């Protein structure tokens, strides 16, 4: 009889676990969505065409973020993923592929835990411990350099050329001697980090909090060229453009105590019809003008202009983000026959009259202008330049004395700036195709504004080119801002896998050595061990996918290489830099990268510290949010009662 009830209880438990696991539809959808984006991971990305079933139009996407942006959200999860990536891209402009991959991999880990009967509370606790282990391993692997020691040129300094962005013991000792004048040593910083709280708070929001990372490691001296080379990730041409943009800024920057790269003063000008060899970086603001504005430019190009700056759209119905219409209010007119178009015409005439009274020749706006406004301005020889970043407006405000306004009706004499000139950047009439006119807007003096001219004769490649330029520019910007680099090409991930597996082994040993009376603690240790192993498996999938996407390795071969390196690594004696680079130029160097001379000549790959930390954090936060939403909202499981759900 007892045996019968035992088997009955086991059968009910298995059915309960299976039924519960199928209720977590959000995790399944997140995993499936992430799986479709695997081709964007790694040095050789495969682009995707997205077709609209209703209109038949298609778009070529070149990154994970662009793909999500071009998809219409069909459920709450799609919208959550979109807003998560938007928040990440808004700050970092890189790392979205890593974020989505790990969100999918760790969603699978949570699903595996549910299948094994692990509760939501235990899954969250174990995976929170796992991410803290990973972040601690990342901090230990980071390479830090002093801001005073970064040099612009590729001159032959002993530290820069001998290290070649390597982490040998000799280079580390030399860097330690050079950084003796610093106020706080890395050991003290690490001690402060270790004394801090190790617990993470789960924030049930689509916007995840940004936390500053604690940085721990030795300091090195590098040239910007070497840092850029390590961060280029096979995008050498666009990274060279980013370095050139930074060098133009540094020539006009009076404060040369620290090498910085102000990304807010960089803009792109995408010019279709020219070969890619024409890509270049120029000082100043370069914009493209269409046919109707070209005649206005030719009329104004020899004059000193008055400029007005509008932070928003130049249209009748534009309202800034803080504007809210009163609820339940109705507007009653004395003349019910007045239409919306006539109201717009009245507004356009009023604004044009105001511009003429102020003597404004040029309007720079961050949004777009309505068609009627552009036409009226062109008739009165007023040039409207649209879709500029606010940082560009801020730069013109400083150099011309103008004041940005939200609405054109706010303009006054104190808001108008002077001293702006227009000039033709380059005559492109020799090309057969009808091209937009590139025009330079300058204030006559030195400016830190830099424009990257991106050209291609293939329309669909322009978006990819612009995306790669911004990714490289932001990687360089974050590296110089953080004064830190992280070993790339799979080395940091393997180091984290080692630490996760080490902690999982410790939990298993703790479970086997525990006394029979401590059943609850034994189960917790066992569940923690399972979840840590599953998190490590997700990181291993990430490494192998990157290796597969390099185009030289099969899945079995990549998995074998990673497993072999993990088996031979001693986690107590090394850090991430001790691992060989797994994502190299061919299969031979990946298999025997430590022994071959080709590997010694290969440029070492590095990543951004802050970008990787935040991508991993947000990936796990996204999984937790979906997991708890599925458990508490969709399936109605109360976490307090969940421990009794498996009992008869």
Task: For 593-611, write each residue's pLDDT tens digit.
Answer: 434 334 334 678 899 999 9
At residue 67 the predicted structure's pLDDT band, cuts being 50, 70 and 90, is confident
Backbone angles phi, psi at 281, to 5 degrees: -125, 130
Q: How far apart are CA 381 and CA 392, in angstroms?
A: 23
CA distances from 537 to 34, 543, 544, 562 (A): 16, 10, 11, 11
| Other beta carbons within 10 Å of 353 | 12
End-to-end alpha-carbon separation of the chain, Å?
A: 16
Higher pLDDT, 50 or 159: 50
Average pLDDT over residues 119-141: 91
User: What is residue 581's DSSP assignment?
Assistant: P
| Other beta carbons within 10 Å of 135 | 20
Tokens of 433: 């195709």
Average pLDDT over residues 215-224: 53
CA distances from 100 to 33, 92, 597, 623 (A): 9, 15, 36, 10
Q: Is 486 helix (H, G, I), strand (E, B) or coil?
A: strand
- Whether 365 shows a pLDDT value over 90: the answer reads yes
Cα 639 versus chain centre, distance: 34
Instruction: Check if the beta carbon of residue 517 is closer than 8 Å to that of residue 535.
Output: no
Instruction: Check if the beta carbon of residue 587 is closer than 8 Å to that of residue 552.
Output: yes
Average pLDDT over residues 407-415: 90
- Whether 579 shows a pLDDT value over 80: the answer reads no
Q: How far apart are CA 431 and CA 315, in angstroms?
A: 35
Instruction: Write the pLDDT tens digit of every residue in 449-465.
Output: 999 999 988 887 888 89
- pLDDT of 103: 94
- pLDDT of 338: 47
| Other beta carbons within 10 Å of 90 | 8
At residue 345 the predicted structure's pLDDT band, cuts being 50, 70 and 90, is confident
Instruction: Check if the beta carbon of residue 422 is closer than 8 Å to that of residue 297.
Output: yes
Higher pLDDT, 571 or 261: 261
Q: How far apart are CA 589 and CA 595, in angstroms?
A: 9
- pLDDT of 416: 93
Q: Which of 213, 152, 219, 143 is nearest to 179 (CA)?
A: 219
Average pLDDT over residues 525-534: 89
- Whether 373 shows a pLDDT value over 80: the answer reads yes
Instruction: Write the pLDDT tens digit of every residue in 147-176.
Output: 555 655 443 333 333 343 433 333 333 333
Residue 476 burial (C-beta neighbours within 10 Å; 0-12, 13-18, 19+): buried
Least confident span in 58-62, 482-486, 636-640: 636-640
- pLDDT of 581: 73
- Whether 199 shows a pLDDT value over 50: the answer reads no
Tokens of 346: 């009245």
- Whether 216 shows a pLDDT value over 90: the answer reads no
Mean pLDDT of the chain: 76
Q: How far apart are CA 609 and CA 301, in angstroms?
A: 46
Q: Is 362 helix (H, G, I), strand (E, B) or coil?
A: strand
- What percent of the chain is modeled with pLDDT above 70? 70
Least confident span in 44-58, 179-193, 328-342: 179-193
Least confident span in 202-211, 385-394, 501-510, 617-626: 202-211
- Whether 560 shows a pLDDT value over 70: the answer reads yes
User: How much of the chain is helix, strand and coil, in % rounded to 5?
Assistant: 55, 10, 35
- pLDDT of 573: 58
* pTM (two decimals): 0.79
- pLDDT of 188: 32
Strands (E), 75-154: 143-145
- Whether 203 shows a pLDDT value over 80: the answer reads no
Characterise 490 by phi-psi region: left (phi > 0), alpha (psi -120 to 50), beta (else): left
Q: How far apart are CA 270 and CA 470, in angstroms?
A: 13
- pLDDT of 352: 92
Q: Which of 94, 92, 30, 90 is nearest to 64 (CA)?
A: 94
Q: Which residue has the tokens 């079995």?
A: 556
Instruction: Write the pLDDT tens digit of every residue in 104-129.
Output: 999 999 999 998 888 899 999 999 99
Q: How far apart are CA 493 and CA 386, in angstroms?
A: 43
């Amino acid at each position: 009889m007892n045996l019968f009830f035992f088997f009955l209880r086991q059968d009910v438990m298995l059915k309960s676990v299976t039924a519960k696991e199928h209720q977590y539809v959000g995790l399944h959808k997140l995993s499936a969505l992430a799986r479709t984006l695997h081709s964007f991971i790694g040095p050789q990305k495969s682009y995707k065409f997205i077709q609209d079933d209703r209109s038949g139009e298609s778009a070529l996407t070149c990154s994970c973020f662009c793909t999500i942006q071009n998809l219409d959200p069909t459920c709450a999860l799609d919208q959550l993923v979109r807003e998560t990536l938007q928040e990440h891209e808004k700050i970092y402009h890189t790392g979205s592929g890593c974020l989505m991959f790990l969100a999918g991999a760790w969603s699978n880990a949570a699903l595996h835990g549910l299948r094994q009967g692990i509760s939501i509370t235990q899954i969250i606790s174990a995976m929170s411990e796992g991410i803290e282990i990973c972040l601690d391993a990342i901090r230990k692997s980071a390479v830090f350099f002093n801001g005073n020691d970064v040099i612009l040129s590729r001159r032959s300094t002993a530290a820069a050329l001998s290290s070649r962005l390597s982490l040998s013991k000799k280079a580390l000792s030399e860097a330690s001697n050079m950084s003796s004048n610093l106020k706080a040593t890395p050991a003290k910083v690490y001690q402060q980090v270790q004394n801090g709280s190790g617990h993470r708070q789960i924030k049930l929001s689509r916007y995840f909090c940004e936390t500053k990372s604690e940085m721990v490691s030795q300091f090195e001296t590098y040239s910007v060229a070497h840092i850029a080379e390590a961060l280029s990730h096979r995008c050498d041409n666009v990274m060279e453009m980013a370095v050139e943009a930074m060098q133009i800024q540094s020539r006009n920057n009076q404060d040369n105590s620290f090498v910085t790269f102000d990304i807010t003063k960089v803009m792109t000008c995408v010019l279709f019809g020219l070969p890619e060899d024409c890509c270049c970086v120029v000082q100043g603001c370069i914009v493209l003008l269409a046919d109707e504005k070209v005649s206005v430019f030719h009329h104004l190009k020899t004059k000193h202009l008055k400029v007005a700056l509008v932070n928003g759209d130049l249209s009748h119905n534009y309202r800034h983000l803080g504007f809210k219409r009163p609820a339940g209010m109705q507007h009653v007119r004395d003349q019910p026959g007045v239409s919306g178009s006539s109201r717009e015409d009245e507004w356009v005439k009023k604004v044009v009259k105001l511009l003429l009274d102020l003597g404004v020749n040029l309007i720079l706006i961050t949004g777009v202008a309505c068609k009627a406004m552009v036409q009226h301005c062109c008739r009165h020889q007023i040039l409207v330049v649209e879709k500029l970043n606010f940082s560009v407006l801020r730069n013109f405000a400083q150099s011309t004395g103008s004041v940005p306004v939200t609405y054109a009706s706010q303009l006054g004499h104190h808001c108008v700036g002077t001293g702006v000139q227009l000039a033709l950047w380059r005559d492109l009439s020799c090309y057969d195709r009808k091209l937009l006119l590139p025009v330079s807007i300058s204030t006559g003096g030195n400016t830190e504004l830099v424009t990257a001219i991106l050209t291609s004769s293939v329309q669909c490649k322009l978006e990819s080119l612009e995306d790669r330029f911004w990714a490289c520019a932001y990687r360089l910007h974050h590296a110089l801002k953080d004064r830190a680099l992280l070993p790339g090409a799979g080395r940091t991930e393997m180091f984290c896998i080692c630490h996760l597996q080490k902690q999982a082994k410790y939990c298993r040993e703790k479970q086997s050595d525990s006394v029979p009376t401590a059943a609850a603690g034994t189960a917790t240790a066992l569940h923690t061990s399972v979840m840590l192993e599953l998190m490590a498996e997700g990181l291993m999938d990430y490494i192998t996918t990157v290796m597969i996407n390099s185009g030289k390795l099969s899945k079995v071969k990549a998995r074998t290489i990673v497993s072999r390196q993990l088996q031979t690594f001693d986690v107590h004696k090394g850090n991430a830099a001790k691992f060989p680079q797994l994502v190299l130029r061919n299969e031979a160097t990946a298999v025997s990268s430590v022994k071959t001379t080709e590997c010694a000549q290969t440029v070492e790959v590095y990543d951004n510290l802050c970008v990787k930390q935040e991508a991993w954090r947000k990936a796990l936060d996204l999984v937790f949010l979906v997991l708890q939403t599925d458990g508490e909202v969709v399936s109605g499981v109360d976490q307090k009662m969940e421990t009794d759900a498996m009992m008869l």
